[in-house]
Chain A
Amino acid sequence: RKEVEQDPGPFNVPEGATVAFNCTYSNSASQSFFWYRQDCRKEPKLLMSVYSSGNEDGRFTAQLNRASQYISLLIRDSKLSDSATYLCAVGGLTGGGNKLTFGTGTQLKVEL
């Protein structure tokens, strides 16, 4: 089983739709969680951190479920510009070099 798993998609949604991605992780000791956005042929860019209590940034909401070991990303009112690949990243203990393990990404295509 991979340490971090995501549905690769693609998710094709109409503009204005709400879309949700999940990411499961296998290491119950994981302590840090992030969502990244990656555009085609570009570097990943940090979208948001994921906190235990859940957090929101505009149209984006991230949640963590430690019991079931998954994180989620909800995008409301999708825009054409949201089309990208979304990567989840999970990190272990600080003493382990702050390493992050990434999922393979979920591709989102927002259409007119």
Chain B
Amino acid sequence: DAGITQSPRHKVTETGTPVTLRCHQTENHRYMYWYRQDPGHGLRLIHYSYGVKDTDKGEVSDGYSVSRSKTEDFLLTLESATSSQTSVYFCAIKAQGHYGYTFGSGTRLTVV
């Protein structure tokens, strides 16, 4: 399997608390992405990175921030969690060239 792991796998947190999700890759790929998946909406891009310290917003970036200080790690932070951020979060990596993404196993986040 591709070297991409997400942590934690499951998390329950309270409204208003900050939460950080981690994506770690061992593939040395330049591109990394954070998506959320919700029924009826499918996968929606939150933020992405095209290199160390190079990040940009996706279509649903409000309430989220990211950081990439090393090639292998891409962190997603919910600054103040809300119930609308209850979702499954997937990280993905992409090799240079015409290749698709490889996804991590996902993080199931519940905000109560």
Contact = CB atoms under 8 A, between A and B. Distances in A.
Interface of A: 32, 34, 36, 42-46, 49, 87, 89, 97-105
Nearest to A43: B103
Residue among B41, B43, B90, B103 with max Cβ neighbours from chain A (10 Å)? B43
A44 B103 contact: yes
5 nearest interchain CB pairs? A104-B42, A43-B103, A102-B43, A34-B100, A46-B100
Interface residues of B, number: 23
Contacts of B58: 99
17 contacts: A43-B103, A43-B104, A43-B105, A43-B106, A44-B43, A46-B102, A49-B98, A49-B99, A89-B101, A97-B50, A98-B94, A99-B33, A99-B58, A100-B101, A102-B35, A104-B40, A104-B42
A99 B48 contact: yes
Contacts of B56: 97
Instruction: Name B's interface SS.
Output: strand
Nearest to A31: B98
Most buried by B among A32, A36, A97, A102: A97
Interface of B: 31, 33, 35, 40-43, 45, 48, 50, 56, 58, 90, 94, 98-106
Contact of B45 (A32, A44, A99, A103): A99
A98 B43 CA distance: 15
A42 to B, nearest CB: 8
Nearest to A105: B42
B42 A97 contact: no
A1 B34 CA distance: 23
